[in-house]
């Protein structure tokens, strides 16, 4: 992507650029593939060479040199615009191929298992024992946007490989976002950074707030949610409703907490990251929800999938087709499982339904209380989270049936949330209600200092209470 960015911008690559990128490529191959690092405590004495990896590295070298030779022959014969289209296409295809191979190969084999068996084959033979690279979903979309933005003229290509490498692998947001654009993050990396006391205070505040949401609330609700969604027996409708309600807050607190901690850590380094969540559960419709939830992904899908497909400019049928394709891709991005695809389809359907009725219902809905709209759409969102969290289609079917017909049993078998979650969730809801009402992200500055100090003391106390319970992995680490 470093090289394709230069080729898209300049139409040619200098020997210096080739040397830099090739050196890093083969140095990485030697460090990560050829050398077998010891897994014991015997220091460097356990170092060895991986013979298979040596062969792979030689093949990689031959392929790389061949690609450069072909490129040098082909590029001069093509027009500038054709060159740009060629290399942006190469960037997209190569990135998506790598993502599909590592993340979805086994999923497709599992899905085609019956077909393979019908021809007398064994699906297990096709499975690859591969490890998912850390953060692949996030940095793949980030590097694709880099190439496309250069092609569109929205950002410049960098000739400094380390600047590009830092943009791709910037550690605070590498494993769970936000998905940054080169036009936003690259200048902040390249330019001289100023770190002042106010920036440090805001960074530490974001980190503390993120820890509060993750350690106290998300981890405190995880056990309750798991006690229902991980069960193999029958559960009551109230159990399902309450567990799904808790999961809505678990996934929000878990994911937005990571974004807060990433943004806070980045502020301490003098780099601003975009806000990834903006009070999503105050949305009144699906369109507003996706302007508030995982903003970096939803805006990415809009700019690089929905609009290139034609957006809403090519007629009604094409518009709804584009909505469905975009949300199906968004669902598939979350993981190699059919329930994520079903969740994406659900989001596409409610977006389409909202688009159909929004223009006609605008006048009619203007008199409906805003709070009722928020509550109604939050209920619709929660059913989507049921699809997202469910372990199988069978569980989706069973839980959906119970929500309709299972109200004769009102017993609760769900594990109770921790005390940290029980105390922290009302504080979070009240805080976000105040922020929503005042439409000011820093409304807390108007709170008298003694009350603010008391609030911070309570938050830290609840964080320490939450630390006494078993931690849960960040949900979005698996994506």
Quick one: average pLDDT of 87-113?
A: 85
Q: Nearest to residue 174, comparing CAs of 139, 210, 143, 203?
A: 139
Q: Which entry of 127, 159, 294, 334 is annotated as an active-site residue? A: 334
Q: What is the DSSP letter of 306?
A: I
Whether residue 58 contacts residue 31, with contact meaning beta carbons closer than 8 Å, is answered with no
How does pLDDT run across 361-386, given as a tens digit for each residue? 554 444 458 889 999 999 999 999 99
What's the mean pLDDT in 400-423? 90
Q: Classify residue 247 by burial, with Cβ atoms within 10 Å: 0-12, 13-18, 19+.
A: buried
Nearest to 425 by CA among 238, 233, 231, 281: 281
pLDDT per residue over 176-208, tens digit each? 889 999 888 988 888 888 888 988 989 999 999
Place of tokens 């979070």: 428
What backbone phi and psi angles, to 5 degrees, belong to 417?
Answer: -65, 160
- Per-residue pLDDT band for 39 (boundaries 50, 70, 90) equals low
Q: Any bridge partners for residue 49, and if so which?
A: 35
58-67 pLDDT, tens digit per residue, is 787 777 777 7
Six token digits for residue 159 = 């000739």
- The reply to whether 354 belongs to the active site is no
Write down the H helix ranges in 75-135. 80-111, 113-118
Which tokens sit at 439? 């439409």
Helix ranges (DSSP H) in 269-337: 286-292, 295-301, 316-334
Q: Is the pLDDT of residue 44 over 70?
A: no
pTM of the complete model: 0.86
């Amino acid at each position: 992507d470093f090289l394709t960015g230069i080729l898209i911008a300049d139409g040619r690559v200098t020997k210096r650029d080739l040397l830099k990128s090739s050196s890093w490529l083969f140095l990485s191959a030697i460090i990560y593939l050829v050398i077998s690092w010891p897994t014991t405590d015997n220091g460097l004495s356990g170092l060895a060479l991986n013979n298979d990896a040596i062969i792979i590295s030689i093949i990689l070298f031959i392929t790389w040199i061949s690609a450069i030779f072909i490129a040098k022959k082909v590029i001069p014969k093509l027009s500038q615009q054709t060159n740009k289209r060629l290399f942006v296409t190469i960037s997209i295809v190569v990135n998506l191929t790598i993502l599909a191979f590592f993340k979805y190969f086994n999923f497709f084999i599992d899905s085609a298992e019956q077909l393979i068996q019908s021809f007398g084959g064994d699906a297990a033979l096709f499975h690859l024992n591969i490890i998912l690279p850390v953060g692949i979903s996030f940095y793949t979309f980030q590097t694709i946007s880099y190439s496309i933005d250069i092609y569109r003229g929205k950002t410049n290509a960098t000739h400094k490989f380390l600047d590009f490498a830092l943009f791709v692998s910037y550690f605070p947001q590498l494993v769970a976002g936000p998905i940054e654009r080169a036009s936003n993050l690259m200048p902040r990396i390249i330019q001289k950074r100023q770190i002042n006391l106010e920036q440090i205070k805001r960074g530490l505040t974001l980190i503390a707030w993120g820890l509060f949401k993750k350690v106290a609330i998300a981890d405190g609700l995880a056990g309750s949610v798991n006690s229902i969604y991980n069960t193999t027996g029958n559960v009551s409708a109230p159990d399902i409703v309450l567990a799904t309600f808790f999961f809505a807050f678990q996934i929000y607190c878990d994911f937005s907490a990571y974004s807060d901690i990433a943004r806070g850590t980045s502020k301490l380094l003098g780099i601003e990251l975009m806000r990834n969540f903006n009070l999503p559960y105050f949305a009144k419709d699906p369109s507003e929800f996706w302007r508030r939830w995982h903003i970096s992904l939803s805006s990415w899908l809009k700019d690089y999938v929905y609009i290139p497909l034609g957006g809403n400019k090519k007629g009604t049928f094409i518009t709804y087709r584009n909505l469905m394709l975009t949300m199906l891709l968004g669902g598939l991005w979350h993981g190699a499982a059919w329930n994520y695809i079903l969740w994406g389809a659900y989001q596409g359907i409610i977006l389409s339904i909202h688009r159909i009725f929004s223009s006609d219902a605008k006048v009619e809905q203007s008199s409906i209380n805003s709070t009722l709209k928020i509550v109604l759409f939050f209920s619709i969102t929660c059913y989507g989270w049921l699809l997202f969290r469910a372990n199988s289609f069978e569980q989706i079917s069973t839980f959906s049936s119970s929500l309709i017909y299972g109200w004769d049993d009102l017993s609760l078998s769900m594990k109770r949330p921790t005390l940290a979650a029980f105390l922290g969730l009302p504080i979070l809801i009240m805080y976000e209600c105040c922020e929503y009402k005042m439409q000011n992200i820093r409304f807390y500055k108007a709170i008298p200092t003694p009350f603010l100090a008391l609030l911070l003391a309570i938050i830290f106390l609840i964080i320490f209470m939450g630390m006494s319970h078993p931690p849960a992995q960040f949900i979005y680490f698996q994506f």
